[in-house]
Amino acid sequence: MNPITLYLTSNFLGGAGFEKLALRLAGGPVKSFFDTHVAEGVGELVISIVGVLLFVWFARFLYQRKIFLRL
């Protein structure tokens, strides 16, 4: 779809990219809730899933608006 733009965006967000943003959105009380009420470690799984969903959502957003980085 738009791998160069996604790669650069991930690097601009920091070393972990979308994972850091997912930690900001789903970390803290959300992670604690899943760790205590479901099972230990599920909070980390939720953070990883949110990171992947953010990545896919951003790729879809760029594709629908036909935003491509051409070199």
Q: Domain residues of the chain, as ranges? A: 3-64
Radius of gyration of the chain (CA): 14
Tens digits of residue pLDDT in 35-49: 999 999 999 999 999
φ, ψ at 22 (rounded to 5°):
-65, -40
pLDDT at 65: 92
Nearest to 63 by CA among 40, 55, 12, 44: 55
Quote the CA–CA distance of 45 and 29 in Å, as a whole number: 14
The pLDDT-based confidence of 1 (bands split at 50, 70, 90) is low
pTM: 0.84
